[in-house]
Amino acid sequence: MNKYVHSETSQHVMKLIQLGADVQVVRSNMVYVSFTLENGVEVAYAYNINKKNHYFLERIQPYPLAVKEFDSPDDVVNIILLDHRQFQNASNSKKMRNFIDINKSLHRTAKAFEDLFLYYNICRADVMEMEKHIEDMNKLINRIKTESQRVFFEKEPENI
Amino acid sequence: MLHEHYIIGIIIFLLSYIAIISEKINRTAVAVFGAVLMVIFQIISKDDALSKIDFNTLGLLIGMMVIVNVVKRTGFFQYLAIKTAKMAKGNPIVIIVFFSIISAVASGLLDNVTTILLIVPVTLVISDTLKVNPIPFIIAEIVSANLGGAATLIGDPPNIMIASATDLSFLDFITNLLPLMTVIFIITVVLIELIFRKSLHVDDKYKKEILSFDENKAITDKKLLIQSLSILVLTIIGFTVAEFIDVSTATVAIFGSSLLIIISRVEPDEILADVEWVTIFFFGGLFVLVGALESIGFIETLAENLLSVTNGDIPTMTILVLWMSAILSSFLDNIPYVATMIPLVNHMSSVTAGNFEPVWWALSIGACLGGNGTIIGASANVVARGALERKGFHISFLYFMKIAFPLMILSILISTVYLLLFYI
Protein backbone atom coordinates (compact mmCIF):
# COMPACT_ATOMS: atom_id res chain seq x y z
CA MET A 1 0.00 0.00 0.00
CA ASN A 2 2.85 2.33 0.91
CA LYS A 3 4.24 1.98 -2.64
CA TYR A 4 0.97 3.11 -4.15
CA VAL A 5 0.69 6.08 -1.78
CA HIS A 6 4.17 7.15 -2.93
CA SER A 7 3.13 6.70 -6.56
CA GLU A 8 0.02 8.84 -6.16
CA THR A 9 1.91 11.49 -4.20
CA SER A 10 4.47 11.70 -7.01
CA GLN A 11 1.71 12.24 -9.57
CA HIS A 12 0.10 15.01 -7.51
CA VAL A 13 3.43 16.71 -6.85
CA MET A 14 4.37 16.62 -10.54
CA LYS A 15 1.03 18.10 -11.64
CA LEU A 16 1.10 20.84 -8.98
CA ILE A 17 4.73 21.79 -9.63
CA GLN A 18 3.99 22.10 -13.34
CA LEU A 19 1.11 24.44 -12.46
CA GLY A 20 3.63 26.67 -10.70
CA ALA A 21 3.05 25.62 -7.11
CA ASP A 22 5.73 25.26 -4.47
CA VAL A 23 5.06 21.80 -3.04
CA GLN A 24 6.44 20.27 0.13
CA VAL A 25 5.58 16.71 1.10
CA VAL A 26 5.63 16.31 4.88
CA ARG A 27 5.50 12.85 6.38
CA SER A 28 3.03 12.71 9.20
CA ASN A 29 0.72 10.54 11.21
CA MET A 30 -2.93 11.31 10.63
CA VAL A 31 -5.01 11.18 13.80
CA TYR A 32 -8.78 10.83 13.58
CA VAL A 33 -10.64 11.55 16.83
CA SER A 34 -14.36 11.10 17.50
CA PHE A 35 -16.60 11.44 20.55
CA THR A 36 -20.24 10.50 20.80
CA LEU A 37 -22.20 12.86 23.04
CA GLU A 38 -24.98 11.63 25.33
CA ASN A 39 -27.64 12.73 22.86
CA GLY A 40 -26.00 10.64 20.12
CA VAL A 41 -24.36 13.56 18.28
CA GLU A 42 -20.88 12.72 16.97
CA VAL A 43 -18.06 15.25 17.37
CA ALA A 44 -15.04 14.37 15.24
CA TYR A 45 -11.65 15.92 14.43
CA ALA A 46 -8.69 15.13 12.22
CA TYR A 47 -5.15 16.36 12.72
CA ASN A 48 -1.64 15.33 11.81
CA ILE A 49 1.56 15.00 13.80
CA ASN A 50 4.83 15.69 12.00
CA LYS A 51 8.42 16.64 12.60
CA LYS A 52 8.07 20.12 11.08
CA ASN A 53 6.05 21.45 14.02
CA HIS A 54 3.04 22.40 11.91
CA TYR A 55 -0.11 20.73 13.18
CA PHE A 56 -3.25 21.16 11.14
CA LEU A 57 -6.49 20.57 13.05
CA GLU A 58 -9.89 20.38 11.43
CA ARG A 59 -13.28 19.66 12.96
CA ILE A 60 -15.24 17.29 10.73
CA GLN A 61 -18.43 16.57 12.71
CA PRO A 62 -21.10 17.63 13.59
CA TYR A 63 -20.31 20.34 11.01
CA PRO A 64 -16.96 21.20 9.40
CA LEU A 65 -14.80 23.96 10.78
CA ALA A 66 -11.88 25.50 8.84
CA VAL A 67 -8.38 24.18 9.39
CA LYS A 68 -6.29 25.83 12.10
CA GLU A 69 -2.52 25.55 12.40
CA PHE A 70 -0.77 24.96 15.74
CA ASP A 71 2.87 24.78 16.76
CA SER A 72 2.58 21.96 19.24
CA PRO A 73 0.63 18.70 19.43
CA ASP A 74 -0.32 19.58 23.04
CA ASP A 75 -2.11 22.72 21.82
CA VAL A 76 -4.06 20.56 19.39
CA VAL A 77 -5.16 18.16 22.11
CA ASN A 78 -6.09 21.03 24.46
CA ILE A 79 -8.23 22.66 21.77
CA ILE A 80 -9.95 19.35 21.04
CA LEU A 81 -10.70 18.79 24.73
CA LEU A 82 -12.06 22.34 25.14
CA ASP A 83 -14.14 22.07 21.97
CA HIS A 84 -15.48 18.74 23.14
CA ARG A 85 -16.49 20.27 26.50
CA GLN A 86 -18.25 23.12 24.67
CA PHE A 87 -20.26 20.60 22.67
CA GLN A 88 -20.91 18.46 25.75
CA ASN A 89 -22.27 21.52 27.49
CA ALA A 90 -24.29 22.53 24.42
CA SER A 91 -25.75 19.04 24.22
CA ASN A 92 -27.78 19.82 27.38
CA SER A 93 -29.82 22.17 25.24
CA LYS A 94 -33.00 20.82 23.64
CA LYS A 95 -32.19 23.04 20.65
CA MET A 96 -28.89 21.22 19.90
CA ARG A 97 -30.24 19.58 16.70
CA ASN A 98 -31.56 22.96 15.45
CA PHE A 99 -28.18 24.53 16.22
CA ILE A 100 -26.41 21.84 14.15
CA ASP A 101 -28.91 22.13 11.30
CA ILE A 102 -28.51 25.93 11.18
CA ASN A 103 -24.73 25.58 11.15
CA LYS A 104 -24.85 23.04 8.31
CA SER A 105 -27.22 25.33 6.46
CA LEU A 106 -24.85 28.30 6.93
CA HIS A 107 -22.00 26.16 5.63
CA ARG A 108 -24.03 25.25 2.51
CA THR A 109 -24.92 28.92 2.02
CA ALA A 110 -21.24 29.93 2.19
CA LYS A 111 -20.43 27.30 -0.46
CA ALA A 112 -23.32 28.46 -2.65
CA PHE A 113 -22.04 32.05 -2.35
CA GLU A 114 -18.56 30.90 -3.39
CA ASP A 115 -19.98 29.18 -6.49
CA LEU A 116 -22.02 32.27 -7.31
CA PHE A 117 -18.96 34.50 -7.07
CA LEU A 118 -16.61 32.14 -8.97
CA TYR A 119 -18.98 31.05 -11.74
CA TYR A 120 -21.11 34.16 -12.43
CA ASN A 121 -20.57 37.85 -13.05
CA ILE A 122 -22.92 39.30 -10.42
CA CYS A 123 -24.09 42.90 -10.44
CA ARG A 124 -23.19 45.46 -7.76
CA ALA A 125 -26.81 45.77 -6.52
CA ASP A 126 -26.91 42.03 -5.79
CA VAL A 127 -23.59 42.19 -3.92
CA MET A 128 -24.96 45.03 -1.77
CA GLU A 129 -28.16 43.11 -1.10
CA MET A 130 -26.13 40.16 0.14
CA GLU A 131 -24.00 42.39 2.36
CA LYS A 132 -27.23 43.79 3.82
CA HIS A 133 -28.51 40.30 4.63
CA ILE A 134 -25.18 39.38 6.30
CA GLU A 135 -25.27 42.58 8.34
CA ASP A 136 -28.84 41.79 9.41
CA MET A 137 -27.77 38.29 10.40
CA ASN A 138 -24.85 39.65 12.48
CA LYS A 139 -27.19 42.13 14.17
CA LEU A 140 -29.59 39.26 14.97
CA ILE A 141 -26.75 37.20 16.49
CA ASN A 142 -25.63 40.14 18.62
CA ARG A 143 -29.20 40.88 19.80
CA ILE A 144 -29.77 37.23 20.78
CA LYS A 145 -26.38 37.22 22.56
CA THR A 146 -27.26 40.21 24.74
CA GLU A 147 -30.75 38.82 25.57
CA SER A 148 -29.57 35.26 26.36
CA GLN A 149 -27.97 33.73 29.46
CA ARG A 150 -24.29 32.70 29.11
CA VAL A 151 -23.74 29.00 29.92
CA PHE A 152 -20.05 28.28 29.17
CA PHE A 153 -17.24 30.09 31.03
CA GLU A 154 -14.05 28.07 30.49
CA LYS A 155 -13.03 30.32 27.62
CA GLU A 156 -14.11 33.64 26.16
CA PRO A 157 -15.98 33.46 22.82
CA GLU A 158 -13.63 34.31 19.93
CA ASN A 159 -16.05 35.63 17.31
CA ILE A 160 -18.75 37.64 19.10
CA MET B 1 16.05 -39.71 13.63
CA LEU B 2 17.98 -38.61 10.55
CA HIS B 3 15.20 -39.91 8.32
CA GLU B 4 12.61 -37.98 10.38
CA HIS B 5 14.66 -34.79 9.99
CA TYR B 6 14.73 -35.37 6.26
CA ILE B 7 10.95 -35.77 6.01
CA ILE B 8 10.11 -32.89 8.39
CA GLY B 9 12.57 -30.59 6.60
CA ILE B 10 11.00 -31.33 3.21
CA ILE B 11 7.47 -30.86 4.59
CA ILE B 12 8.33 -27.47 6.17
CA PHE B 13 10.01 -26.35 2.95
CA LEU B 14 7.18 -27.50 0.68
CA LEU B 15 4.45 -25.99 2.87
CA SER B 16 6.36 -22.69 3.05
CA TYR B 17 6.94 -22.74 -0.70
CA ILE B 18 3.26 -23.43 -1.43
CA ALA B 19 2.19 -20.66 0.95
CA ILE B 20 4.61 -18.21 -0.71
CA ILE B 21 3.43 -19.14 -4.21
CA SER B 22 -0.25 -18.96 -3.25
CA GLU B 23 0.23 -15.34 -2.09
CA LYS B 24 -2.59 -15.86 0.42
CA ILE B 25 -0.25 -15.06 3.32
CA ASN B 26 2.50 -12.44 3.28
CA ARG B 27 5.56 -14.11 1.74
CA THR B 28 7.99 -12.58 4.24
CA ALA B 29 5.97 -13.84 7.21
CA VAL B 30 5.89 -17.33 5.67
CA ALA B 31 9.62 -17.40 4.88
CA VAL B 32 10.64 -16.24 8.36
CA PHE B 33 8.14 -18.60 10.05
CA GLY B 34 9.36 -21.54 7.94
CA ALA B 35 12.97 -20.67 8.79
CA VAL B 36 12.18 -20.59 12.52
CA LEU B 37 10.39 -23.95 12.25
CA MET B 38 13.53 -25.41 10.66
CA VAL B 39 15.48 -24.31 13.77
CA ILE B 40 12.78 -25.40 16.27
CA PHE B 41 12.59 -28.90 14.73
CA GLN B 42 16.41 -28.98 14.73
CA ILE B 43 16.59 -29.51 10.98
CA ILE B 44 19.33 -26.91 11.15
CA SER B 45 21.08 -25.44 14.20
CA LYS B 46 20.71 -21.74 15.02
CA ASP B 47 24.37 -21.05 14.21
CA ASP B 48 24.18 -22.94 10.91
CA ALA B 49 20.96 -21.10 10.04
CA LEU B 50 22.72 -17.76 10.55
CA SER B 51 25.67 -18.91 8.47
CA LYS B 52 23.31 -19.78 5.59
CA ILE B 53 22.09 -16.17 5.32
CA ASP B 54 23.89 -14.53 2.42
CA PHE B 55 24.85 -11.20 3.96
CA ASN B 56 26.52 -10.14 0.72
CA THR B 57 23.15 -10.21 -1.05
CA LEU B 58 21.42 -8.44 1.86
CA GLY B 59 24.17 -5.80 2.14
CA LEU B 60 24.06 -5.08 -1.57
CA LEU B 61 20.28 -4.78 -1.54
CA ILE B 62 20.22 -2.48 1.52
CA GLY B 63 23.05 -0.28 0.20
CA MET B 64 21.42 0.20 -3.19
CA MET B 65 17.98 0.83 -1.63
CA VAL B 66 19.48 3.65 0.46
CA ILE B 67 21.17 5.28 -2.56
CA VAL B 68 17.99 4.99 -4.63
CA ASN B 69 15.88 6.44 -1.80
CA VAL B 70 18.03 9.58 -1.87
CA VAL B 71 18.15 9.84 -5.69
CA LYS B 72 14.38 9.59 -6.00
CA ARG B 73 13.86 12.58 -3.67
CA THR B 74 15.58 14.87 -6.14
CA GLY B 75 12.97 14.72 -8.93
CA PHE B 76 15.59 13.44 -11.39
CA PHE B 77 13.21 10.91 -12.93
CA GLN B 78 10.50 13.50 -13.51
CA TYR B 79 13.13 15.72 -15.12
CA LEU B 80 14.23 12.95 -17.48
CA ALA B 81 10.67 11.95 -18.35
CA ILE B 82 9.51 15.53 -19.08
CA LYS B 83 12.67 16.29 -21.04
CA THR B 84 12.25 13.22 -23.25
CA ALA B 85 8.48 13.71 -23.65
CA LYS B 86 9.24 17.23 -24.92
CA MET B 87 11.99 15.90 -27.19
CA ALA B 88 9.35 13.54 -28.61
CA LYS B 89 7.11 16.62 -29.15
CA GLY B 90 4.33 14.80 -27.31
CA ASN B 91 4.23 11.98 -29.88
CA PRO B 92 3.16 8.89 -27.85
CA ILE B 93 4.94 6.42 -30.14
CA VAL B 94 8.26 8.20 -29.59
CA ILE B 95 7.54 8.74 -25.88
CA ILE B 96 7.11 4.96 -25.43
CA VAL B 97 10.57 4.42 -26.96
CA PHE B 98 12.17 7.04 -24.69
CA PHE B 99 10.40 5.82 -21.55
CA SER B 100 11.35 2.22 -22.39
CA ILE B 101 15.00 3.26 -22.68
CA ILE B 102 14.80 5.14 -19.36
CA SER B 103 13.16 2.10 -17.70
CA ALA B 104 15.76 -0.33 -19.05
CA VAL B 105 18.78 1.79 -18.14
CA ALA B 106 17.43 2.72 -14.71
CA SER B 107 16.50 -0.87 -13.99
CA GLY B 108 20.04 -1.97 -14.81
CA LEU B 109 21.42 0.49 -12.24
CA LEU B 110 18.67 0.45 -9.62
CA ASP B 111 16.15 -2.39 -9.35
CA ASN B 112 13.01 -3.19 -11.31
CA VAL B 113 10.44 -2.34 -8.65
CA THR B 114 12.05 1.01 -7.83
CA THR B 115 12.31 1.84 -11.52
CA ILE B 116 8.62 1.09 -12.03
CA LEU B 117 7.70 3.14 -8.96
CA LEU B 118 9.61 6.08 -10.39
CA ILE B 119 8.53 5.89 -14.03
CA VAL B 120 4.85 4.90 -13.65
CA PRO B 121 3.66 8.06 -11.80
CA VAL B 122 5.32 10.28 -14.43
CA THR B 123 3.84 8.16 -17.21
CA LEU B 124 0.36 8.48 -15.73
CA VAL B 125 0.63 12.27 -15.64
CA ILE B 126 1.99 12.41 -19.21
CA SER B 127 -0.67 10.02 -20.59
CA ASP B 128 -3.38 11.91 -18.68
CA THR B 129 -2.17 15.17 -20.25
CA LEU B 130 -2.15 13.56 -23.71
CA LYS B 131 -5.61 12.03 -23.03
CA VAL B 132 -4.32 8.64 -24.13
CA ASN B 133 -4.59 5.16 -22.58
CA PRO B 134 -1.53 4.59 -20.30
CA ILE B 135 -1.60 0.77 -20.64
CA PRO B 136 0.68 0.55 -23.75
CA PHE B 137 3.23 2.80 -22.01
CA ILE B 138 3.12 0.75 -18.80
CA ILE B 139 3.43 -2.60 -20.60
CA ALA B 140 6.48 -1.30 -22.50
CA GLU B 141 7.99 -0.04 -19.24
CA ILE B 142 7.39 -3.32 -17.36
CA VAL B 143 9.01 -5.38 -20.12
CA SER B 144 11.89 -2.92 -20.48
CA ALA B 145 12.53 -2.78 -16.73
CA ASN B 146 12.74 -6.57 -16.54
CA LEU B 147 15.08 -6.66 -19.57
CA GLY B 148 17.30 -3.89 -18.18
CA GLY B 149 17.41 -5.56 -14.78
CA ALA B 150 18.55 -8.80 -16.38
CA ALA B 151 21.57 -7.06 -17.95
CA THR B 152 23.51 -6.23 -14.78
CA LEU B 153 24.52 -7.79 -11.47
CA ILE B 154 22.55 -5.25 -9.46
CA GLY B 155 19.48 -4.98 -11.72
CA ASP B 156 17.48 -7.94 -10.48
CA PRO B 157 17.63 -9.93 -7.19
CA PRO B 158 18.26 -13.30 -8.98
CA ASN B 159 21.44 -11.82 -10.47
CA ILE B 160 22.54 -10.50 -7.08
CA MET B 161 22.06 -13.97 -5.57
CA ILE B 162 23.81 -15.73 -8.47
CA ALA B 163 26.76 -13.33 -8.30
CA SER B 164 27.04 -13.80 -4.58
CA ALA B 165 27.09 -17.58 -4.92
CA THR B 166 29.62 -17.65 -7.78
CA ASP B 167 32.76 -15.85 -8.87
CA LEU B 168 30.84 -13.91 -11.51
CA SER B 169 31.65 -10.20 -11.22
CA PHE B 170 29.82 -7.00 -12.17
CA LEU B 171 31.86 -6.83 -15.37
CA ASP B 172 31.09 -10.50 -16.17
CA PHE B 173 27.37 -9.70 -16.10
CA ILE B 174 27.84 -6.61 -18.28
CA THR B 175 29.99 -8.36 -20.88
CA ASN B 176 27.90 -11.55 -21.03
CA LEU B 177 24.34 -10.26 -20.64
CA LEU B 178 24.24 -6.62 -21.77
CA PRO B 179 24.73 -7.34 -25.53
CA LEU B 180 22.02 -10.03 -25.45
CA MET B 181 19.58 -7.84 -23.51
CA THR B 182 20.21 -4.90 -25.86
CA VAL B 183 19.25 -7.01 -28.89
CA ILE B 184 16.13 -8.40 -27.13
CA PHE B 185 15.19 -4.88 -25.96
CA ILE B 186 15.32 -3.41 -29.47
CA ILE B 187 13.24 -6.25 -30.96
CA THR B 188 10.73 -6.14 -28.08
CA VAL B 189 10.18 -2.37 -28.19
CA VAL B 190 9.71 -2.46 -31.98
CA LEU B 191 7.11 -5.23 -31.60
CA ILE B 192 5.29 -3.36 -28.80
CA GLU B 193 5.18 -0.25 -31.01
CA LEU B 194 3.71 -2.34 -33.85
CA ILE B 195 1.08 -3.84 -31.53
CA PHE B 196 -0.11 -0.50 -30.12
CA ARG B 197 0.63 2.06 -32.84
CA LYS B 198 -2.98 2.24 -34.09
CA SER B 199 -4.40 3.01 -30.64
CA LEU B 200 -2.05 5.91 -29.92
CA HIS B 201 -3.54 8.98 -31.56
CA VAL B 202 -3.21 12.30 -29.78
CA ASP B 203 -4.78 15.67 -30.58
CA ASP B 204 -2.23 18.41 -31.32
CA LYS B 205 -3.59 20.65 -28.53
CA TYR B 206 -2.64 17.99 -25.93
CA LYS B 207 0.83 17.62 -27.46
CA LYS B 208 1.25 21.39 -26.97
CA GLU B 209 0.38 20.96 -23.28
CA ILE B 210 3.34 18.58 -22.91
CA LEU B 211 5.59 21.16 -24.55
CA SER B 212 4.48 23.70 -21.93
CA PHE B 213 5.90 21.50 -19.12
CA ASP B 214 9.10 22.77 -17.54
CA GLU B 215 11.50 19.94 -16.72
CA ASN B 216 13.65 22.22 -14.54
CA LYS B 217 10.77 22.67 -12.10
CA ALA B 218 10.90 18.92 -11.41
CA ILE B 219 14.33 19.14 -9.75
CA THR B 220 13.52 19.67 -6.08
CA ASP B 221 17.07 19.79 -4.72
CA LYS B 222 19.91 20.44 -7.17
CA LYS B 223 22.68 19.98 -4.59
CA LEU B 224 21.24 16.66 -3.45
CA LEU B 225 20.87 15.60 -7.09
CA ILE B 226 24.56 16.24 -7.80
CA GLN B 227 25.60 14.49 -4.58
CA SER B 228 23.41 11.42 -5.05
CA LEU B 229 24.20 10.96 -8.75
CA SER B 230 27.92 11.35 -8.01
CA ILE B 231 27.72 8.66 -5.32
CA LEU B 232 25.68 6.42 -7.64
CA VAL B 233 28.34 6.75 -10.38
CA LEU B 234 31.10 6.21 -7.78
CA THR B 235 29.32 3.07 -6.54
CA ILE B 236 28.94 1.70 -10.09
CA ILE B 237 32.66 2.32 -10.67
CA GLY B 238 33.27 0.57 -7.34
CA PHE B 239 31.31 -2.49 -8.57
CA THR B 240 33.42 -2.69 -11.73
CA VAL B 241 36.72 -2.57 -9.86
CA ALA B 242 35.57 -4.58 -6.81
CA GLU B 243 36.93 -7.87 -8.15
CA PHE B 244 40.39 -6.36 -8.72
CA ILE B 245 40.71 -4.87 -5.23
CA ASP B 246 39.20 -7.92 -3.53
CA VAL B 247 36.19 -6.11 -2.07
CA SER B 248 32.66 -7.51 -2.14
CA THR B 249 29.84 -5.73 -3.99
CA ALA B 250 27.97 -5.42 -0.67
CA THR B 251 30.93 -3.54 0.84
CA VAL B 252 30.92 -1.15 -2.13
CA ALA B 253 27.13 -0.55 -1.83
CA ILE B 254 27.26 0.02 1.93
CA PHE B 255 30.28 2.33 1.51
CA GLY B 256 28.41 4.38 -1.13
CA SER B 257 25.17 4.55 0.82
CA SER B 258 26.74 5.54 4.15
CA LEU B 259 28.94 8.15 2.44
CA LEU B 260 25.85 9.59 0.76
CA ILE B 261 23.99 9.85 4.07
CA ILE B 262 26.99 11.67 5.60
CA ILE B 263 27.58 14.19 2.79
CA SER B 264 23.93 14.85 1.94
CA ARG B 265 22.86 15.30 5.58
CA VAL B 266 19.48 13.76 4.82
CA GLU B 267 17.65 12.35 7.84
CA PRO B 268 19.01 8.78 8.21
CA ASP B 269 15.83 7.61 9.96
CA GLU B 270 13.69 8.66 6.99
CA ILE B 271 16.03 7.10 4.44
CA LEU B 272 16.43 3.87 6.41
CA ALA B 273 12.68 3.70 7.01
CA ASP B 274 12.23 3.62 3.24
CA VAL B 275 14.47 0.56 2.88
CA GLU B 276 12.26 -2.38 1.99
CA TRP B 277 12.93 -4.35 5.15
CA VAL B 278 10.09 -6.71 4.25
CA THR B 279 12.10 -7.83 1.20
CA ILE B 280 15.31 -8.09 3.22
CA PHE B 281 13.64 -10.34 5.82
CA PHE B 282 12.08 -12.39 3.01
CA PHE B 283 15.56 -13.09 1.65
CA GLY B 284 16.83 -13.91 5.14
CA GLY B 285 14.06 -16.44 5.76
CA LEU B 286 14.47 -17.94 2.32
CA PHE B 287 18.22 -18.45 2.74
CA VAL B 288 17.60 -20.40 5.96
CA LEU B 289 14.79 -22.47 4.38
CA VAL B 290 16.97 -23.47 1.41
CA GLY B 291 20.03 -23.84 3.64
CA ALA B 292 18.14 -26.30 5.85
CA LEU B 293 17.16 -28.32 2.79
CA GLU B 294 20.78 -28.33 1.74
CA SER B 295 21.98 -29.46 5.17
CA ILE B 296 19.72 -32.54 5.18
CA GLY B 297 21.04 -33.57 1.76
CA PHE B 298 17.83 -33.00 -0.21
CA ILE B 299 19.41 -30.53 -2.65
CA GLU B 300 22.16 -33.09 -3.27
CA THR B 301 19.56 -35.76 -4.16
CA LEU B 302 17.73 -33.31 -6.43
CA ALA B 303 20.98 -32.38 -8.18
CA GLU B 304 21.89 -36.04 -8.72
CA ASN B 305 18.47 -36.69 -10.27
CA LEU B 306 18.84 -33.71 -12.59
CA LEU B 307 22.31 -34.92 -13.57
CA SER B 308 20.98 -38.38 -14.39
CA VAL B 309 18.17 -36.87 -16.53
CA THR B 310 20.66 -34.80 -18.53
CA ASN B 311 23.47 -37.41 -18.37
CA GLY B 312 25.68 -34.63 -16.99
CA ASP B 313 25.70 -32.97 -20.41
CA ILE B 314 26.29 -29.24 -19.87
CA PRO B 315 24.62 -28.03 -23.13
CA THR B 316 21.48 -30.06 -22.34
CA MET B 317 21.51 -28.78 -18.77
CA THR B 318 21.95 -25.15 -19.96
CA ILE B 319 18.96 -25.28 -22.30
CA LEU B 320 16.87 -27.20 -19.75
CA VAL B 321 17.65 -24.69 -16.97
CA LEU B 322 16.98 -21.74 -19.33
CA TRP B 323 13.52 -22.89 -20.43
CA MET B 324 12.51 -24.36 -17.06
CA SER B 325 13.50 -21.10 -15.32
CA ALA B 326 11.67 -18.96 -17.88
CA ILE B 327 8.41 -20.90 -17.73
CA LEU B 328 8.41 -21.29 -13.94
CA SER B 329 9.38 -17.64 -13.36
CA SER B 330 6.46 -16.54 -15.53
CA PHE B 331 4.05 -17.88 -12.96
CA LEU B 332 6.07 -18.10 -9.73
CA ASP B 333 8.17 -15.73 -7.68
CA ASN B 334 11.66 -16.01 -9.18
CA ILE B 335 13.44 -15.20 -5.91
CA PRO B 336 12.61 -18.45 -4.03
CA TYR B 337 13.09 -20.35 -7.28
CA VAL B 338 16.62 -18.98 -7.80
CA ALA B 339 17.43 -19.39 -4.10
CA THR B 340 16.63 -23.11 -4.47
CA MET B 341 18.39 -23.49 -7.80
CA ILE B 342 21.67 -21.93 -6.66
CA PRO B 343 22.76 -24.77 -4.29
CA LEU B 344 21.40 -27.26 -6.82
CA VAL B 345 23.54 -25.88 -9.68
CA ASN B 346 26.46 -25.47 -7.26
CA HIS B 347 26.27 -29.15 -6.34
CA MET B 348 25.96 -30.24 -9.97
CA SER B 349 29.02 -28.17 -10.91
CA SER B 350 31.03 -29.69 -8.05
CA VAL B 351 30.47 -33.25 -9.32
CA THR B 352 30.67 -32.56 -13.06
CA ALA B 353 33.78 -31.84 -15.07
CA GLY B 354 33.57 -28.88 -17.45
CA ASN B 355 32.70 -25.18 -17.46
CA PHE B 356 29.38 -24.57 -15.72
CA GLU B 357 29.22 -20.84 -16.54
CA PRO B 358 26.60 -21.31 -19.32
CA VAL B 359 24.27 -22.95 -16.78
CA TRP B 360 24.58 -19.93 -14.46
CA TRP B 361 23.84 -17.57 -17.35
CA ALA B 362 20.88 -19.74 -18.34
CA LEU B 363 19.54 -19.53 -14.78
CA SER B 364 19.98 -15.77 -14.70
CA ILE B 365 18.43 -15.16 -18.15
CA GLY B 366 15.55 -17.59 -17.62
CA ALA B 367 14.64 -16.33 -14.14
CA CYS B 368 14.84 -12.63 -15.08
CA LEU B 369 13.18 -12.76 -18.52
CA GLY B 370 10.56 -15.28 -17.40
CA GLY B 371 9.11 -12.46 -15.28
CA ASN B 372 7.91 -10.82 -18.50
CA GLY B 373 5.59 -13.72 -19.32
CA THR B 374 2.64 -12.83 -17.11
CA ILE B 375 1.42 -9.90 -15.02
CA ILE B 376 2.32 -11.86 -11.85
CA GLY B 377 5.72 -12.97 -13.18
CA ALA B 378 7.71 -10.23 -11.42
CA SER B 379 7.17 -7.84 -8.51
CA ALA B 380 7.60 -4.90 -10.91
CA ASN B 381 4.64 -6.12 -12.99
CA VAL B 382 2.40 -6.46 -9.92
CA VAL B 383 3.35 -3.00 -8.63
CA ALA B 384 2.71 -1.39 -12.04
CA ARG B 385 -0.70 -3.05 -12.29
CA GLY B 386 -1.58 -1.87 -8.76
CA ALA B 387 -0.64 1.74 -9.57
CA LEU B 388 -2.70 1.58 -12.77
CA GLU B 389 -5.72 0.15 -10.99
CA ARG B 390 -5.72 3.01 -8.51
CA LYS B 391 -6.15 5.31 -11.52
CA GLY B 392 -9.08 3.24 -12.82
CA PHE B 393 -7.23 1.22 -15.49
CA HIS B 394 -7.13 -2.56 -15.46
CA ILE B 395 -4.69 -4.96 -17.06
CA SER B 396 -6.20 -8.45 -16.92
CA PHE B 397 -4.01 -11.54 -16.56
CA LEU B 398 -4.99 -12.78 -20.04
CA TYR B 399 -4.64 -9.39 -21.75
CA PHE B 400 -1.08 -8.98 -20.47
CA MET B 401 -0.23 -12.61 -21.25
CA LYS B 402 -1.58 -12.31 -24.81
CA ILE B 403 0.95 -9.54 -25.49
CA ALA B 404 3.85 -10.35 -23.18
CA PHE B 405 4.04 -14.15 -23.17
CA PRO B 406 4.89 -14.45 -26.91
CA LEU B 407 7.47 -11.66 -26.43
CA MET B 408 8.96 -13.60 -23.51
CA ILE B 409 9.10 -16.83 -25.54
CA LEU B 410 10.78 -14.91 -28.38
CA SER B 411 13.35 -13.51 -25.93
CA ILE B 412 14.11 -17.02 -24.64
CA LEU B 413 14.47 -18.32 -28.20
CA ILE B 414 16.97 -15.53 -28.92
CA SER B 415 18.76 -16.39 -25.64
CA THR B 416 18.88 -20.07 -26.63
CA VAL B 417 20.56 -19.18 -29.91
CA TYR B 418 22.94 -16.83 -28.05
CA LEU B 419 23.95 -19.48 -25.51
CA LEU B 420 24.35 -22.16 -28.19
CA LEU B 421 26.44 -19.87 -30.39
CA PHE B 422 28.75 -18.34 -27.81
CA TYR B 423 28.97 -20.73 -24.87
CA ILE B 424 28.35 -24.31 -26.00
pLDDT in tens, B49-94: 999 999 988 999 999 999 988 998 898 988 999 999 999 999 999 9
Quote the Cα angle for A135-A138-A142, to 5°.
Answer: 140
Q: In what order do the strands lie in the sheet with A42-50?
A: A28-36, A42-50, A55-61, A65-70
Host H or E run for residue A45:
strand A42-50
Residue from A7, A15, A28 whose CB has the most chain B CBs within 10 Å, to mutate: A7
Question: Which residue among B78, B120, B217 sits closest to A7, beta carbon to beta carbon?
Answer: B120
**A3 and chain B: CB distance < 8 Å anywhere?**
yes
**Residue B154: partners with Cβ closer than 8 Å, 6 or more residues away:** B60, B64, B108, B109, B110, B111, B160, B170, B239, B249, B253
- Our CA-based measurement puts residue B90 at a distance from the nearest CA of chain A, in whole angstroms, of 16
Cβ of A18 within 8 Å of Cβ of B213? The answer is: yes
**A29 and chain B: CB distance < 8 Å anywhere?**
no
B367 class by beta-carbon count within 10 Å (0-12 exposed, 13-18 middle, 19+ buried): buried
Give pTM, 2 decimals: 0.82
Question: Residue A68: helix, strand or coil by DSSP?
Answer: strand
pLDDT in tens, B247-298: 999 999 999 999 999 999 888 888 898 888 988 999 999 999 999 988 998 8
**Percentage of residues of chain B with pLDDT beyond 70:** 100
pLDDT in tens, B33-46: 999 999 999 999 99
| A1, B23, B334, B397 from B331: Cα distances, Å | 22, 12, 9, 11
Cβ of A14 within 8 Å of Cβ of B78? The answer is: yes
Angle, helices B222-242/B55-71, rounded to nearest 10 degrees = 150
Cβ of B383 within 8 Å of Cβ of A3? The answer is: yes
Residue from B113, B129, B215, B220 whose CB has the most chain A CBs within 10 Å, to mutate: B220
Grade residue B357 by pLDDT with cuts at 50, 70 and 90.
very high
Amino acid letter, residue A135: E
Segment among A87-91, B129-133, B176-180, B226-230 with least mean pLDDT: A87-91
Cβ of A8 within 8 Å of Cβ of B390? The answer is: yes
C-alpha–C-alpha distance, residues B138 and B384, integer Å: 7
pLDDT in tens, A116-152: 989 999 899 999 999 999 999 999 999 998 888 888 8
Cβ of A7 within 8 Å of Cβ of B78? The answer is: no
So what's the pLDDT on residue B2?
Answer: 63
Host H or E run for residue A59:
strand A55-61
Residue among B342, B273, B256, B349 at smallest CA distance from B310: B349
**Residue A140: partners with Cβ closer than 8 Å, 6 or more residues away:** none
